[in-house]
Amino acid sequence: MEGKYRELHRLQLWRQLDRSWDPRRVFPVEQPLYLEIGFGNGEYLLRQAVDRPEHNFLGIEMHWGSVRRCLRRLAQAQSQNVRILQMDAHVAVRYLLPSQSIEKFVALFPCPWPKRDHERFRLFSTEFMGQLNRICRQGGLVVTDHRGLMEFARQQVAGSGLTLEVIETEARYNTKYERRWSGQGQEIFFELHYRPEAVSSYQMVPEVSVRTLTLDSFDPENVVLEGCLEGIVVQFRQHLYDPKREVFMALTTVIEDHLNQTFWIEAARKEGQWHIRPALGGGFLPTLGVQRALELLQKAGQPR
């Protein structure tokens, strides 16, 4: 295990990032920043970083296995101009990445989600592209092997403030997935070139400052927690009570938009009152859903 991903400074722990986080400020040298979404094993990301030392690169990838492999590659190459966020790109573009902070994005062979009822997982919806238009100064490039995804992207581009030009191409990016499809005989791929046409009408989701709530009395041994399944989903999964310390903890899942967060809420008795707030240490993005979960716990504790 040792040596596989020893140099963790390239990994940005997004649950612990401030909402005013700016990816331009996390590199040793501030220089134009480029984004790769869904970098997989990171070979293209690393090649770009080595070939273009005058640029910085931010990679977003959802799966830890891929992030781990990429961190190992970056450590071996001692590359200093790459940082990585392990998170869903839908969440990054809505909640985290500041306007005009990035030059261009690239996404190579993204998951096509071919089944109809999985279309909602696709990137490149109007909203996603509108957010990328807000974030990236010069648009960007998607390369896909999948005609259905290309057509979806064409239908969705209107309203994002970007234009889309589709060019047929042959294999030329030399990534794991390109090699896979070429190896299976595919010869034609699609380059989707997005260029800015109008200022994006999409905004970053505004920051919510999560307030600690209080209760004068609370019966932690008999409380019945009820979540909420409509709109913002709140689910109380389990709870614990330490009578010595007078601390009650509820493991809570909140789902809103593309964001799914699981964290502990604590209700602790101090100076005659119960204080309800997210427990320290877990990390969470402060959202309306987090505040809603605190309110539901407060409501459950109020006399009926």
Ligand X SMILES: C[S@@+](CC[C@H](N)C(=O)[O-])C[C@H]1O[C@@H](n2cnc3c(N)ncnc32)[C@H](O)[C@@H]1O
Q: Which of 11, 26, 75, 111 is close enough to bind ligand X by CB under 6 A?
A: 111
Give the integer Cα–Cα distance in Å for 226 and 17.
Answer: 30
Q: Is 59 in the site for ligand X (CB under 6 A)?
A: no
Name which position in 23, 35, 40, 234 contacts ligand X (CB under 6 A): 40
Q: How far is the CB of 70 from ligand X (least distance, A)?
A: 10
- How crowded is the C-beta side of 263, counted as CA atoms within 13 Å? 25
Between CA 106 and CA 144 the distance in angstroms is 11
Segment interacting with ligand X, rule: CB under 6 A, options 71-79, 102-110, 130-138, 248-256: 102-110
Give dist(CA 87, CA 63) in Å, integer: 8
Residue number with CB closer to ligand X (69 or 134):
69
Q: Min. distance of Cβ 110 from ligand X in angstroms?
A: 5
**Which residue lies nearer to ligand X by CB, 192 or 294?**
192
Residue 281 DSSP SS3: coil
By the rule CB under 6 A, 88 interacts with ligand X: yes
d(CA 101, CA 280): 30
Position 53, amino acid: P
The Cα–Cα gap between 278 and 249 comes to 9
What is residue 213's DSSP assignment? E
CB of 245 to ligand X, least distance (A): 39
Q: Is the torsion defined by CA of 75, 76, 82, 88 positive or negative?
A: negative
Stretch that binds ligand X, among 12-20, 54-62, 154-162, 239-247 (CB under 6 A): 54-62
Amino acid at 66: S
String marking each residue 141-180 x if it binds ligand X according to CB under 6 A: ----------------------------------xxxx--
Q: Which of 12, 17, 23, 61 binds ligand X (CB under 6 A)?
A: 61
- Binding part of the chain for ligand X, among 18-26, 83-91, 161-169, 267-275 by CB under 6 A, reads 83-91
Contact 274, 227 (CB under 8 A): no
Pull the structure tokens for residue 103.
């030059």
Cα-to-chain-centroid distance, residue 255 = 14
Kindly state whether residue 38 participates in binding ligand X, applying the rule CB under 6 A. yes
Among 66, 131, 160, 261, binds ligand X (CB under 6 A): 66
| Residue 109 lies near ligand X (rule: CB under 6 A) | yes
Site for ligand X, rule CB under 6 A: 37-40, 60-63, 66, 88-90, 108-111, 123, 175-178
